[in-house]
Structure 1
Amino acid sequence: MTQPEAVWHLDAALGEGPVWLPEEQALWFVDIKRGHLHRFHPQTGSAETFEVGGNPSFVVPTDDGGLVIGSRDKVLRADGGRLGPIVATLDQPADNRTNDAAVDSLGRLWIATMHDPEEAETGTLWCLDGATLRHAGTSAVVTNGPAITADARTLYHVDSGARTISRYPVDAEGRLGEPEPFVTLGQDEGYPDGIVLDSEDCVWVALWDGWGVRRYAPDGTMLLHVPLPCARVTKLALGGPDLRTAYVTTARVGLDDAALAEQPLAGSLFTFRVDVPGRPQPAMRT
């Protein structure tokens, strides 16, 4: 493993949702608070920012070659660097918004939502299966993840405020069973934020106010802690031609002048090499 380095010195307020698209050999991610969609081409170093507006919280590929974005209560097509046609609308409280998301190997989009003021326990999970949207359960102030194993039978769920990651069985119809505890962080370890699984079904978790990312084995054993030079680490994606390059998004929202002086790279995109590759990104079934 190599030491993390900043590959895009970006002042993202809330960088999130990195996803690697092998067809483009590019990384896409969002800035929720600034309403930005970003694309980074590591081979050329080119970096693009699209001002889509709203609160884009995730971006994922679709099986027809497009992209969809979650923003507030909607899942929308990405249309030429803008928010396009609505794919689905979530029936949720006005103060809720989309947060993290993942596509499983069957093409279902699992959407995590949260209470934007971070006060009420109204965050939950939704599943968009083709044209069918349904509430999948769970309850949290800030829901992160999910991440789903390659066989689509186990879903990892993050309750960030409670500092917990849980694991749910998923049946053939996409219904969640009873959860079991996976990992709980201590108060000095930060809050679990975005998660992703690698090809060994190990869990990579970003640590908000935890100054790094960690890799956990399927039995919950911590295998690796990778420190980063900023506190608010949000999510990791595994990409590159061999899927062994980690790309990490970070945030500067809520940091005062003293903290920003200590963390001049807060909000930047970081990268480092890993020993175990990730999994190819599934496309959402449309």
Structure 2
Amino acid sequence: MDPEIIFKKIDDLGEGPTFDEKRNRVYWVDIRGKKFHYLNLDNSEMKTFASIGMISSIVPTDSNMMAATVDHGLYLIDDNGKHTLLIEVEKEQKSTRFNDGKADPFGNYVAGTMDLEEKRPIGSLYVLTGKTIRRILDNLTISNGIAWNTKKKVFYHIDTPKRRVEAYSYDSRMNIERMGTAVDFRNEVGNPDGMTIDAEGNLWVAHWGGNRITVHDPEKQKKIDEIKFPAQNITSCVFAGDGLHDLYVSSASNGNADDLGGSLFRVKTEYTGSRTFVFSVP
């Protein structure tokens, strides 16, 4: 599984690739660059739009819109890049911002916040349903990777400095209860960032500072595969395209001219991904 460069060094802090199956697009963001992109898989055309702030995650919706977390807000964004605010959280808190987020199996937007200094556990994980919001986890420092195993009813979440993937049971309202550690990163290179899940329930975890993605069976707590990249800071990934075999991978610059961080990569795999969920527009 060799990575292929789709777009070379176009981002400062590339993050959060996601798949819009209905429109056959891959979305991703550049948090520090305050911009987002989409790649049309039908014709390989890529478009880039400026955001109104630090856009940290973007998801498909059940309408012809995108939804995104920007700074402290959840927005709808149309194909011309116009942002429409739905709701804000922690807007009085100058030391946090939204980080990773995804639509859940029930049409909600699950997204977490982080300490801008990446030191204090002042972040939280939220469920945004329409125009209402509810906190489901707190005391987080860098709320990060998110995934659901819908067959086993397990929700996975990463708080990066803890260097592990935690497993939670969940219900239709995203009430969660901790089940234990699914992936322990103590013997891994770098820190866990974003992640996705395949059809067999394996977790694909991006390594910030580790130039790789590792694949883990969370039930056996066993690493089963690994992909290395010519970029130190690998940030997240998603399965996309016909059959969900292609893995699209985001990365961030590390300031080294020889490092290919900031590129969007694609890896053709023999695995099959899980479908990306969509946000239900209120």
TM over 0.5: yes
Does the 8 A contact of 1:38 with 1:47 survive in 2?
yes
Does the 8 A contact of 1:52 with 1:81 survive in 2?
no
Does the 8 A contact of 2:106 with 2:172 survive in 1?
no
In the TM superposition, residue 204 of structure 1 has moved relative to its aligned partner by 0.7
Q: Which residue of 1 aligns with 2:258?
A: 262
1:6 aligns with 2:2: no
1:200-253 CA-to-partner distances (Å, cap 9, x unmatched) read 12111100001110111131211101000111000001001111000000001x
Tell me the number of residue pairs that the alignment of Structure 1 and Structure 2 aligns.
279
Does the 8 A contact of 2:202 with 2:218 survive in 1?
yes
Secondary structure at the aligned position of 2:257 is classed as helix
1:23-48 CA-to-partner distances (Å, cap 9, x unmatched) read 22221100000111111134433221
1:80-113 CA-to-partner distances (Å, cap 9, x unmatched) read 4435211121136221111111222211211121
In the TM superposition, residue 183 of structure 1 has moved relative to its aligned partner by 1.4
In the TM superposition, residue 188 of structure 1 has moved relative to its aligned partner by 5.5
Q: Which residue of 1 aligns with 2:202?
A: 202
Secondary structure at the aligned position of 1:242 is classed as helix
Q: 1:86 to 1:238 in 2, by over 3 A?
A: same
Does the 8 A contact of 1:143 with 1:158 survive in 2?
yes
Q: After the TM superposition, which of the residue ranges 275-284 and 38-47 deviates more from structure 2?
A: 38-47
Task: Give, as a single letter, the amino acid of the residue that structure 1 aligns with 2:75.
Answer: L
Task: Give, as a single letter, the amino acid of the residue that structure 1 aligns with 2:265.
Answer: F
Structure 1 segments unaligned to the other structure (5+ residues): none
Secondary structure at the aligned position of 1:224 is classed as strand
Q: Output aligned runs, 1:88-237, within 5 Å.
A: 88-91=87-90, 93-151=93-151, 153-186=153-186, 189-219=189-219, 220-237=221-238
Does the 8 A contact of 2:195 with 2:204 survive in 1?
yes
Task: Give, as a single letter, the amino acid of the residue that structure 1 aligns with 2:108.
Answer: R
Task: Give, as a single letter, the amino acid of the residue that structure 1 aligns with 2:167.
Answer: R
Between the aligned partners of 1:46 and 1:109, the Cα distance in structure 2 is 27
Does the 8 A contact of 2:239 with 2:246 survive in 1?
yes
Task: Give, as a single letter, the amino acid of the residue that structure 1 aligns with 2:236.
Answer: K
Task: Give, as a single letter, the amino acid of the residue that structure 2 aligns with 1:30.
Answer: V
Task: Give, as a single letter, the amino acid of the residue that structure 2 aligns with 1:133.
Answer: I
Between the aligned partners of 2:135 and 2:76, the Cα distance in structure 1 is 21
Secondary structure at the aligned position of 1:196 is classed as strand
Between the aligned partners of 2:44 and 2:168, the Cα distance in structure 1 is 39
Between the aligned partners of 1:188 and 1:239, the Cα distance in structure 2 is 26
Between the aligned partners of 2:123 and 2:267, the Cα distance in structure 1 is 32
Between the aligned partners of 2:118 and 2:270, the Cα distance in structure 1 is 36
4+ residue segments displaced more than 4 Å: none
Q: Which residue of 1 aligns with 2:271?
A: 276
